[in-house]
Amino acid sequence: MSQSPNSQNKNAELGVELVTHALSEADLNDLCDATDAAIKAGGGFGWVQLPSRDIMERFWRGVVAMPLRMLFLARLDGVVCGTCQLIKPPANNEAQKHSVQLTGLFVSPWARGRGLSSLLLDTVEQEALKTGFTVINLDVRESMTAAIQLYESRGYELLGRHPYYAMVGGAFVEGRYYTKKLSAS
Ligand SMILES: CC(C)(COP(=O)(O)OP(=O)(O)OC[C@H]1O[C@@H](n2cnc3c(N)ncnc32)[C@H](O)[C@@H]1OP(=O)(O)O)[C@@H](O)C(=O)NCCC(=O)NCCS
């Protein structure tokens, strides 16, 4: 009997890590596969058109190389299948040195519904606190209902809406802005 991908192997091992070194070829390849699949499934984290593989590889290598970005990877049985980033404020922005921007959160469609994005956000919030940040800001398209449910269930507070937030298929898509005040538990 056939099973949907999300109902297979319920004992699969979940993992999330902060990237502290250059990506291996295998991880880069899996990350590009996950990005490719998530864009084809509707994106929601920036890309609308699928970029060529070399652009995607350069993008992820660039993320790892940028001092102001923290890259997190989610794994299912060791395979990279999701990600999230934190963008730190530049050093001159002393007034906002407490806050960090969350961006680029997605899980590949085949790995969804197993708690990986919750685990990603647990790790992201812990690492943000450890790095000295007490506020996480983020924005999301109104159409990304799973992500909105995820953020609201974790205490992200809706700040407002932007009617011209994104342009997809020649039409504006509304966006939402959220914030969360972190506290050590
Ligand atoms: C949003 C997304 C990251 C969720 O990933 P996931 O690993 O499947 O999520 P989890 O299994 O960890 O679920 C955590 C919570 O998210 C919410 N959620 C996840 N999938 C959902 C869905 N299909 N419908 C409604 N809520 C959903 C629920 O609150 C869920 O908690 P629960 O299981 O206790 O109900 C994933 O659907 C995705 O990549 N979406 C496209 C990209 C995107 O929208 N990114 C956000 C850009 S800001």
- pLDDT tens sequence across 38-48: 999 998 889 99
DSSP H/E element including 111: none
Nearest partner of 80 among 24, 5, 132, judged by Cα: 24
Checking if the pLDDT of 4 tops 80, the result is: no
Token pair belonging to 102: 């969350």
Would you call 130 helix, strand, or coil by DSSP?
helix
Token pair belonging to 110: 């085949």
Say which DSSP state 12 is in: P
Distance from Cα 118 to the centre of ligand 1, integer Å: 8
* Closest protein CA for atom 13 of ligand 1: 115
Tell me if 6 CB under 6 Å of ligand 1.
Answer: no
Question: In a mutational test of the pocket of ligand 1, which residue from 138, 149, 156, 162 has the highest number of ligand atoms less than 8 Å from its CB?
Answer: 149
The mean pLDDT of 26-49, rounded to a whole number, is 95
Q: Residue type at 103?
A: T
The mean predicted confidence, pLDDT, of the chain is 94
Q: What is the set of domains in the chain, with CATH numbers?
A: 14-181 (3.40.630.30)
> In the prediction, which pLDDT does 184 show?
85
Residues 82 and 108 sit within 8 Å (Cβ to Cβ) = yes
Q: Quick one: pLDDT band at residue 139, thresholds 50, 70, 90?
A: very high
How far from chain centre, in Å, is Cα 149?
A: 15
**Beta strands of the chain (E only): which ranges?**
14-18, 69-76, 79-87, 99-107, 135-141, 157-168, 171-181
> In the prediction, which pLDDT does 3 show?
33
Checking if the pLDDT of 11 tops 90, the result is: no
Residues 54 and 92 sit within 8 Å (Cβ to Cβ) = no
Distance CA(83)–CA(33), nearest Å, equals 12
Q: Could you identify the atom of ligand 1 that is nearest to the CA of residue 118?
A: 12
> In the prediction, which pLDDT does 6 show?
47
Tell me if 150 CB under 6 Å of ligand 1.
Answer: yes
Long-range contacts, 156-160 (Cβ 8 Å, 24+) = 156/180
Tell me if 81 CB under 6 Å of ligand 1.
Answer: no
Distance from Cα 46 to the centre of ligand 1, integer Å: 17
Q: Quick one: pLDDT band at residue 8, thresholds 50, 70, 90?
A: low
